[in-house]
Structure 1
Amino acid sequence: MSAENPKNETSKPKRRKKKNLFEVAQFLPNWGIGYHMAKSHWANVSYEITKINLYKDGRHGKAWGIAHKDGLPIADAPKKISGVHKRCWKYIPSLAISIEGKESSPKTNRNCCKD
């Protein structure tokens, strides 16, 4: 019995480490530029990422974006995002889908209305 691993019985299940903004963005196309991200405790608030400056390690840097509330932009100009290194960021897929749909609809209208 002592040869077996006694720690397995008493050990707690491992928590998944939450991600900072850059660790979330690395799996998105173009490092998340144009996509919406938010801190996990924010309600109806997100940033549309416009610019990212990465440090060499790829996990740290600076980011800028346009703040959104309820899917609508709060400001016209991008601002530097604070707290990008905190481990509480998530990708908001629903806003990205709605924005992609808005972008594609005017293109189809322009093509059908040409003379």
Structure 2
Amino acid sequence: MPSNHSIHCATAPPTLSALPDVSLPAEVHAIIRKAWAAQHDYVLRLPELTRTCGRASSTVWQDIKQRRFPPPFPLGARAVGWKASEVRAWLEVRAFAARSSQKVDMQAFVTLLTSMPSP
């Protein structure tokens, strides 16, 4: 069950054309736009993240290091969290790639997904 930690984004998301050109399918760009448009988001901590994405924490950290999974952001001196909208987008892109048999450059996807400026 999602936690009650909420993030409010009051600024309009940038257009994809304003960002570096990356070769990703149009469906992936649509998923990114949907994640950026999330007005009310919540924070996932590591135990909830691993349940949500079905991956072990060591795999998550390895994918973050290789820039294939959205990185966390600091919540405090010793706590980090992930934006649920970014994790949902990551899951949608993984499902899209598997079901459509299209190869998706996950590093390019994560770079583009996380390039939205902070409000």
TM-score relative to the length of structure 2: 0.29
The answer to which structure has the higher helix fraction is: 2
Higher relative contact order (CA 8 A, sep 6+): 2
Greater radius of gyration (CA): 1
TM-score relative to the length of structure 1: 0.30
The answer to which structure has the higher strand fraction is: 1
